Amino acid sequence: MAEYLVGLVGRGIGPSLSPSLHEREATALGLRYRYRLLDLDVLGVPARGVGGLLVRALAEGYRGLNITHPCKQLVVEHLDSLSADAEAVGAVNTVVFDGGRAVGHNTDVTGFARAVRTGLAGAAQRRVVLLGAGGAGAAAGYALLAAGTSDLEVVDVDHGRAGALAGRLRRRFGERAARAVEAGAELGERLNGADGLVHATPTGMAGTPGTALRPELLRPPLWVADLVYRPLRTELLRAARARGCRTLDGGRMAVHQAADAFELFTGTPPDRCRMLRHFAEEASRAR
């Protein structure tokens, strides 16, 4: 039986749950599968050296790689082709080696889309505020507009970044689809008429606790999706639930992006319910 060899390229990825998530699913499906961590710091490779890592992985027989911070954009120029999602977002989190060619995909887009479909089924999504215009925010914004959101307001402390993302999304989805909004006082006004809030800044992660906005601004019928998944129960989600808002944690996106990558690597559809269960177990153990 063939063995799938895959890896994760990024910085500070030691605590990543990806190896166990992928390998447990492969074992359950009877596949031989090894998932290695290719940590830039451990290997002594700078982020711009990601192209060299790709060449090495291909030569060593890797089936593919997941790519995370800070290489999701840097890797693009080293690829032979891109999926439509990856092309539109300008970032790649999954590379598949196919007959010597390196093909880039973005399963953050498909993973977030499925997380919303399954975790916020039936929720209105016409107007959404996106807080955080980095790589994860770009994937979420693209997924929302592709799924039917018609009015996306992008907020970032770096207003230029919000403007750049909104501009990119407008070019793909039309002039009225997205616009940048100043952080600060205007955020409360924007949330007032919105159906949902997607939080895509690192605030709330174990190393950077807190919330990126005042919890008083949250009130039903607004739903709140947090992309942060370490911890799963962030201060933002706790505050939103306490105020009666419907919520979606970052775990679902984490699992579905992994499941989509797994299927790209193996051609075998994983059991997503089992992966969600495994993720919950691993996440509670890692706390």
Write out the catalytic residue numbers: 72
Give the distance from CA 182 to its chain's centroid.
24
Closest approach, Cβ 90 to ligand NAD, in A, equals 12
Residue 253 found at the interface with ligand NAD (CB under 6 A): yes
- The answer to whether the CB of 172 falls within 8 A of the CB of 146 is no
Residue 119 found at the interface with ligand NAD (CB under 6 A): no
Q: How many residues bind ligand NAD (CB under 6 A)?
A: 28
Q: Which is nearer to ligand NAD, 188 or 221 (CB)?
A: 188
Closest approach, Cβ 248 to ligand NAD, in A, equals 10
φ, ψ (nearest 5 deg) of residue 190: -65, -40
Q: Is 148 left (phi over 0), alpha (psi -120 to 50) or beta?
A: left
Q: Where are the alpha helices (DSSP H) in the chain?
A: 18-28, 40-43, 50-59, 84-89, 107-119, 135-146, 159-173, 185-192, 235-242, 250-266, 272-286
Contact with ligand NAD (CB under 6 A) among 47, 58, 123, 157: 157
Q: Which stretch binds ligand NAD (CB under 6 A): 50-58, 128-136, 238-246, 264-272?
A: 128-136
Residue 262 found at the interface with ligand NAD (CB under 6 A): no
Contact with ligand NAD (CB under 6 A) among 161, 172, 246, 274: 161
Q: Which is nearer to ligand NAD, 96 or 261 (CB)?
A: 261
Residue 257 found at the interface with ligand NAD (CB under 6 A): yes
Residue 180 found at the interface with ligand NAD (CB under 6 A): no
- CA-wise closest residue to 180 among 199, 193, 198, 161: 161
Q: Which is nearer to ligand NAD, 7 or 132 (CB)?
A: 132
Closest approach, Cβ 287 to ligand NAD, in A, equals 16
Closest approach, Cβ 190 to ligand NAD, in A, equals 13
Encoded one letter per residue, x for contact with ligand NAD by CB under 6 A and - for no contact, window 192-221 reads: --------xxxx-x------x---------
Residue 43 found at the interface with ligand NAD (CB under 6 A): no
Residue 183 found at the interface with ligand NAD (CB under 6 A): yes
Q: Which is nearer to ligand NAD, 31 or 254 (CB)?
A: 254
Instruction: Name the DSSP letter for residue 77.
Output: G
Edge-to-edge strand list for the sheet holding 247-248: 178-180, 151-155, 127-131, 196-199, 223-226, 247-248
Please enumerate in sequence order all residues whose Cβ is within 8 A of that of 84, keeping only pairs 6 or more positions apart, or say none. Answer: none
The rounded distance, in Å, linking the Cα atoms of 93 and 32 is: 22
Residue 158 found at the interface with ligand NAD (CB under 6 A): yes
Angle CA 89–95–99, to nearest 5:
130
Q: Which is nearer to ligand NAD, 47 or 58 (CB)?
A: 47
φ, ψ (nearest 5 deg) of residue 97: -90, 125
Please enumerate in sequence order all residues whose Cβ is within 8 A of that of 107, keeping only pairs 6 or more positions apart, or say none. Answer: 93, 94, 256, 257, 258, 260, 261, 264
Give contact residues for ligand NAD (rule: CB under 6 A).
Answer: 69, 108, 131-137, 155-158, 161, 183, 200-203, 205, 212, 227-229, 250, 253-254, 257
